[in-house]
Structure 1
Amino acid sequence: MSIQLNAINCFYGAHQALFDINLACPQGETLVLLGPSGAGKSSLLRVLNLLELPRSGSLQIAGNHFDFSQTPSDNAIRELRQNVGMVFQQYNLWPHLSVMQNLIEAPCRVLGLSKDAARARR
């Protein structure tokens, strides 16, 4: 899967986390993001999975193209997330859910599976 970002700008309120980011990573290449705390590494990863929506720019990933002059549709976001995942450094489980409920949450929300179908995917 190739990844291309063009002129990505991402804000948290008035704070600009990503400044006009351009990046190309051809299929089969390995890319390392390295930098100090607050440099925008996590923000960039969150943009790749559309957990954060940039104010401007474009993204091509997993056969999908997003032009952030418009808000992507829920269906387009769901389709991307079926093919692009992210494992957080500080993952958090929902303490009010059982282990099984935590495990099936993503397949139910992202893939649209029923709880029974998600449980059967073991």
Structure 2
Amino acid sequence: KLDHMLKHSPAVPPAARRALGLSIQPLRIFLNPELRVLDSSTVLSQEACESVSGFSAAVPRFRSVEVSGLNEKGQEVTWQASGWPARILQHEMDHLDGVLYLDRMDSRTFVNINWQEHNE
């Protein structure tokens, strides 16, 4: 499942991870996060989410962003991210604003990723 692959990228073979631009990231905590766009050009790529389980769609996201806030010790922290981590940051920041990928998707690309299970 695409949503499983996106959430658990270690399950994806390394060659496929590289081809998709996926990277494993350490846990980072941001309290009261703020997002700033560093590169306003966008990349259209498939996303999925457990909030809308079983579906996927192409979503445009900025190439590079910066998130800042406080860590678990109350210290100011900043992270600049590009590619896959930047996409995840934008996806998660959207959740904090009550926005789902459905609100940003190219509706022509919306697919049921479990269609084979339903047709068996």
- TM normalised by structure 1 equals 0.27
Higher-helix-fraction structure: 2
Larger Rg: 1
Q: Which has the higher contact order (CA 8 A, sep 6+)?
A: 2
Higher-strand-fraction structure: 2
